[in-house]
Amino acid sequence: MFGIDDILRAVVADLHLVALIMGVVYLLAIVCAIREILNSRTPQGSIAWLLSLLLLPIPTVLLYLIFGWKLFDDYATDRMQNGRANRPLRARDLALIDGETDAKWPVQVQVSELPFLKGNEVELLVNGEATFESIFAGIEAAKEYLLVQFYIFRDDRLGRQLADLLIAKARAGVAVYLLYDDVGSTWTPKRYWRELAEAGVKVSSFNGRHKLLRLFGPTRINYRNHRKIVVADGKHAWVGGLNVGVEYMGEDPKLGAWRDTHVKISGPASLGCALLFNEDWEWATGERLPNRPPADLETFGDKSVLVMGSGPADKLEECAIAFTDLIGRARKRLWIVSPYFVPDTDIRTALFAARLRGVDVRIMLPDNPDHLLVWLASMAHADAMVLHDIAVYRYTAGFLHQKVVLVDDEMATIGSVNFDNRSFAINFEITLWFTDAGTIAGVDDMLSKDFESCRQVGLAEVQSRHRGLYLATQAARLLSPVL
């Protein structure tokens, strides 16, 4: 019988084949090294890559293709052709730009390439039941089109309920578009997508037309679309931290209760969410959706909202820039809630500086892990915060998954962005920015209640970490750039 040993002996015996394989590996290593030199972000990271490519090319080339090779020029081109820069002009024609708020938050506006838009109503949605009740009601009320995008779709009770609603709307003549991430929805069976498509729902994965890139360009494994967006008729939009699965309803026996936050916006800002979906859809499918506001654009309230999309196609790491600026502007309080806390050097420095200014800096994290490696790295960074007199709280009433930031009485953010390098530089994300007193008061009240279900991590706890656990957290911290 011809086994693996025979194959290995045959390969080793043919030195020409070995030489060819090694030559290809070293050629790839040279290409990766040149690219790293030309696109270096930090000298330390680049030196580590270059030394690894030189000394250990065989595993390092594959790792670099997965974690180091950032290539989304095609996405950036699609975005330019869609005319994101023209969107403020369109909004100005509608007389909906909030120029005063734009002038106050210029960095966030420049990063978003969209203005703050007036005329919105905002509704905080706490946890899964309230969120999906609102989303499902919005789907049932839609008359023209639905845009549905999540990182994860499960073929479980919640996923089936969503699918049934979308199928019913598609059969009723509503245009329904569904976009999912290939990595996040890896385990979703093909029959789930097939049933939707056969009923008239237009379905695509984020890498839908990039099959060769998925095969030969492992970057698509690393760079994921983490956005959660639902838009109904260009009038209502839902954005936040929840995906489609029963665990987000608190039904996971291991994680138990699930603490998360979504937000519903009604009004002109929902068009910003639709435009981000359009960008993703065009890149995924090659199809450009009709990019028109409703004929009877409604204003549902008086609140200003900024829609910020970010991702690896940005010229700069713009998400990190926006949040670093936000941290730097805090004067009284800075409350950060995230399930994953793996900040880079710039964010850590900004947090330390805020505390030295006398800002009430609080970081709320889950007490229990869902991803062990990320949790260990997060613990290392959180312990460093405690050592610098920054208050760290661990949520104990279930698993904490919301992504919320509150600065003074000036700004609140809700979206899909975690406080880690993956969200700031690697994933495609969405954040909504709010400056109105009502939304800020609502977020204040919501987080104040959450703090009541937390325990504060004390200095004694940090200093008494078991040496084995300390070693594990510090080792995991070394992987921070890709977690």
Amino acid at 192: Y
Q: Which one of the listed residues 233, 280, 420, 450 is annotated catalytic? A: 233
Q: Which residue has the tokens 């966030």?
A: 108
Q: Is 403 designated active site? A: yes
Q: Which one of the listed residues 118, 169, 226, 381 is annotated catalytic? A: 226
Token pair, residue 280, equals 């993703």
Q: In degrees, to the nearest 5, what angle opens at C-alpha 62 toward C-alphas 79 and 341? A: 65
Contact 416, 340 (CB under 8 A): no
Q: Is 16 designated active site? A: no
Q: Which one of the listed residues 78, 102, 181, 228 is annotated catalytic? A: 228
> Would you give the DSSP letter of residue 359?
-
Q: Is 401 designated active site? A: yes
Give the Å distances, CA to CA, from 344 to 41, 381, 403.
Answer: 12, 10, 17
Q: Which one of the listed residues 264, 303, 381, 401 is annotated catalytic? A: 401
Q: Is 74 designated active site? A: no
Q: Which one of the listed residues 264, 303, 381, 403 is annotated catalytic? A: 403
CA 248 from chain centre, in angstroms, equals: 16
Residues with Cβ within 8 Å of residue 366, at least 6 apart in sequence: 339, 375, 394, 395, 399, 400, 401
Q: In degrees, to the nearest 5, what angle opens at C-alpha 464 toward C-alphas 370 and 419? A: 35
CA distance 347 to 421: 10
At residue 94, the 3 state secondary structure works out as coil
CA distance 240 to 124: 10
CA distance 176 to 174: 6
User: If we measure between CA atoms, which residue out of 271, 417, 414, 448 comes closest to residue 339?
Assistant: 417
Residues with Cβ within 8 Å of residue 248, at least 6 apart in sequence: 128, 158, 242, 258, 260, 401
> Would you please indicate which residues are annotated as catalytic (active-site) residues?
226, 228, 233, 401, 403, 408
